[in-house]
Every structure is written in structure tokens, then in C-alpha cells.
Amino acid sequence: MPMEEAVTLTDVFVSITDPRQSAKVRYDLVEVLALVVCAV
């Protein structure tokens, strides 16, 4: 069985596009998603 390359959560979060209006963004989307994962 071939070994697959490990993917980190940061790699996944960085690949997600931020749909929010840039003028109204206070926190980076990666930071928000990381907090959500920690809260669960």
C-alpha cells in the first residue's frame, strides 16, 4: 500500500478562499477556523 503525503490543517485552511468583504475583516480566516477547531 503506497504511503500518502500528510496534509496539515493549516495547508487545508490556507487553500480555502475567504468570501468576506476585505474592508470588514478583522481576523484572518485561518485564525478563525483554527479557533473553531479548538472549540470543538
pLDDT tens column, 20-39? 999 999 999 999 999 999 99
Higher pLDDT, 18 or 40: 18
Q: pTM, whole model, 2 decimals?
A: 0.69
Tell me, what's the pLDDT at 1? 55
The pLDDT of 5-27, averaged and rounded, is 91
Would you give the distance in Å from CA 12 to the centre of its chain?
6
For 6-37, give the DSSP string: P--HHHHHHTS---S-GGG--S-HHHHHHHHH
